[in-house]
Amino acid sequence: MALKEIAENIHSPEAFLGKILQNLSRAGIIRSMKRPGGGFYLDQGDMSTPLSEVVKAIDGESLFVGCGMGLEFCSEQYPFPLHHEFKTIRNNLSEMLQKTTVGQFNDELINGKILLTKMHIHPNKT
């Protein structure tokens, strides 16, 4: 699928999405074809990739190892006030992203169980 078509379908700026797709392609998570009619695609082998690899390709490792408040000096020895609570949440999130594959995510998108688009919610006028 072409970048422009993907961007339109998920209501995302093309340049922003292009950078994300380039990162995913460099990491080997998605494939790209650079020719007329080319674009980005997944092959069957890509479907078994854990979502944690997608997060790492886009944002790096910080979600899985970093401080919940982004502090450089936070550690087990010198924790920030919510360190242990955040560590539990971070570990649960990491486990969920390790267990969920790109294929499972894709199936839920196709079946309409989840959305990958901005929703515009209008408050009720009274």
Structure tokens belonging to residue 61: 């490792």
Question: Interhelix angle for 51-59 vs 83-99, to 10°?
Answer: 120
Q: What is the pTM of this model?
A: 0.78
d(CA 51, CA 114) in angstroms, rounded, equals 15
Residue spans of beta strands (DSSP E) within 5-76: 31-33, 39-41
d(CA 2, CA 37) in angstroms, rounded, equals 7
Structure tokens belonging to residue 76: 């087990």
* pLDDT per residue as tens, the chain (126 positions): 888 888 888 888 999 999 999 999 999 999 988 877 778 898 999 999 999 999 999 999 988 888 888 888 888 888 888 888 988 999 999 999 999 999 998 888 888 888 777 655 555 544
